[in-house]
Amino acid sequence: MLKPGELAPAFEMADQNERAIRLSDYKGKKNVVLFFYPRDFSPVCTLEACSFRDRYSVFQALDTEVIGVSTDGVVSHAHFASKYNLPFSLLTDDGALRTLFSDVNAPEFLQGRVTFVIDKTGRIVEVISSVFDASRHIEDALTKLRSEQGHISND
């Protein structure tokens, strides 16, 4: 698993709208919260995605883009994003992106939910790994982003 201080690997993938998303597009402009989750429409994953949605304006105010990643296909992501009004990109990963970021030797259920907070320079500043506590990912990411930018608000 990549650790804080390491550079995030470059990637380019299509999102649910078949738009190319490149990590390099954000470099120097925005922080990125890249969250890997197991499945569209599963209860905990839906809670996590909707929690990111509900706090999306706070992430945006902290110059941060949110990007979700799972193995679900573009059609599933499009339905998931539409049904829950998700304002951020969802990427379909065949396992290649997860391999770049995390331990592929871990059992799949342990690989399922991990979030990387990446600063504007492309460096990982926080890794949040909690399989069942989806809300922790959102709160820990916001805490780290605020501390990096000197904000102390609890929006």
- Residue of 21, 45, 97, 118 marked active site: 45
Query: 45 an active-site residue?
Result: yes
Q: Are 73 and 13 in contact (CB under 8 A)?
A: no
Q: Are 18 and 74 in contact (CB under 8 A)?
A: yes
User: Nearest Cα to 70, choosing from 4, 155, 13?
Assistant: 13
The arrangement of strands across the sheet holding 114-118 comes to: 89-92, 64-70, 31-36, 114-118, 124-129
User: Left (φ > 0), alpha (ψ -120 to 50) or beta: where does 27 sit?
Assistant: beta
| Catalytic residue set | 45
